[in-house]
Structure 1
């Protein structure tokens, strides 16, 4: 079941359905014209950045609601920055992570250890848990980690082996290295700019190499995959692929664009990039 759909895009906007709520939000890459202009009248609320950050119609929306996104039930809520608690362009990645971990766990006859860095509201963590993995969810925002825990409860995964960590990702991995903890599969979605738990500054162009070196150090002796995603302009699929190839030369590499997708005939909207490294044994 999937309660998300991209209905239309164009004119620098995107029209999306999240369960019972339809929203009209900015989308700078949608430079074409909308295909179905009349459809946009269905929007329950509108977000703009033209004169500051502003929602129109927000007061008519529920404080929060639930939507099933590629097999994961998510709590959604409008934030002051126009976000909702889910980035639907990552949902195909959730499918891949769930099925890959399920298949590999079956081969090994034991659960894999999955690490999700810069983990946000937990969609990928919960997809990994559905695939049978033991998970570690790390984000510097206490509020987002709490949101992710609520999503775990929504999916009857509150008792699943998931460690919920509020911390700076690089500092956390440094401690894991000293503790001798290792992970079979790692996902990271580093921000263009962010701050850690104690206000540590993270700028992707300066910090990503160190982050990736730490990722390599916390990989187990039998790694399954490393999955790197980005929403930073200029970090194209090939950039991400080159970074992983330099870090982990022996393995299979793939890369591409993350896409918002809708029904047949609706234009796909590029919304970020990804690359993944898989063990040569896979």
Structure 2
């Protein structure tokens, strides 16, 4: 497992009974997680005293129960990068802390490249990877279909003191954006994507991972430079094996450029049990 173990402002305190107890800075949240199918052995004080608890509704969705008054949003940092955290109506906070293991990897790759690097971040959400790559000196193009999260990503870049770095923020359907980049002859040294299982673009375009992921990765081959640095696919789709990402990368970028592929689970260490929580999968290709 690729585990994000270097956090100071985030901690996965405990898990059990379909829920996780997390510290985000000095605020403790209790949230559901479908991977946690083991029991909560004992509901100790920290569980009962969480600042906010997200309850799922039997009719779908859910809502937050606030035990204490907390800020509408607050800031946490990771190795000099800073991010706004905000509990949303769909249980998320605007950041996936397990992705820190990818941020560190990308920063190392960009630093060691010894040349200017252009990065394309697709399905880029609130910009954790965009901020990380910009901090390493890369030129970044950040693309997501949601105007709200693109605005959030811009704020994270400013919050990290990187507002003057060459980062372009685009609100668009990623598939159509890549097609336009092909026609324009644009090229990138590295591509990152975190595709959803299912989604819709700003004009009603539909995305279904099982149908669209491989042809989309194939289309990205046309916008890579002659000497690409890395290609990263993250996935949170339930039931999708890391070996699937390995096969996709083998049949696309590795077939064209050679290089090395590494795949596996991505996760977080659990303080109380010393176990790890699986949070998704990744597939990395590197030159």
TM-score exceeds 0.5: yes
- Using a 3 Å threshold, how does the CA distance of structure 1 residues 55 and 113 change in structure 2: closer, same or farther? same
**TM-superposed deviation, 1:58:** 7.2
Contact preservation (8 Å) 2:50, 2:67: no
**TM-superposed deviation, 1:61:** 2.2
Greater CA drift, 31-40 or 88-97: 31-40
1:221 to 226, 230, 241: 226
Distance 1:258 1:227 in 2: 13
Distance 1:63 1:135 in 2: 29
Which residue is 1:18 aligned to?
Answer: 24
1:130-174 deviation line (CA, Å, top 9, x unaligned): 111110100000110000000011011111000101111111011
For these two proteins, the number of residue pairs brought into alignment is: 275
Contact preservation (8 Å) 2:14, 2:271: no
Which residue is 1:100 aligned to?
Answer: 109
Which residue is 1:184 aligned to?
Answer: 189
Higher relative contact order (CA 8 A, sep 6+): 2
Distance 1:71 1:275 in 2: 26
2:267 to 240, 255, 259: 259
Q: How does 1:90-169 map to 2 (within 5 A)?
A: 90-104=99-113, 107=114, 110-169=115-174
2:74 to 62, 65, 68: 65
| 2:89 is the alignment partner of 1:89 | no
1:40-63 deviation line (CA, Å, top 9, x unaligned): 123111112143411111772211
Distance 1:150 1:234 in 2: 34
2:53 to 40, 46, 50: 46
Instruction: Provide the secondary structure at the position in 2 that maps to 1:48.
Output: strand
Which residue is 1:8 aligned to?
Answer: 14
**TM-superposed deviation, 1:218:** 1.0
Distance 1:174 1:58 in 2: 48
Unaligned runs of 5+ in 2: 1-6
1:32 to 33, 38, 58: 38
Greater CA drift, 255-264 or 115-124: 255-264
Unaligned runs of 5+ in 1: none
Greater CA drift, 195-204 or 56-65: 56-65
Instruction: Provide the secondary structure at the position in 1 that maps to 2:237.
Output: coil
Distance 2:228 2:156 in 1: 27
Instruction: Provide the secondary structure at the position in 2 that maps to 1:181.
Output: coil
**TM-superposed deviation, 1:78:** 1.0
Distance 1:199 1:61 in 2: 36
RMSD of aligned residue pairs (Cα, Å): 1.6
Following TM superposition, the consecutive aligned residue runs of length 4 or more in structure 1 with deviations greater than 6 angstroms are none
Distance 1:69 1:55 in 2: 26
Instruction: Provide the secondary structure at the position in 1 that maps to 2:285.
Output: strand
Q: How does 1:174-253 map to 2 (within 5 A)?
A: 174-248=179-253, 249=255, 250-253=258-261
Please report the TM-score for the alignment, with normalisation by the length of structure 1: 0.93
Instruction: Provide the secondary structure at the position in 1 that maps to 2:279.
Output: strand
Distance 1:32 1:234 in 2: 18
Contact preservation (8 Å) 2:103, 2:128: yes
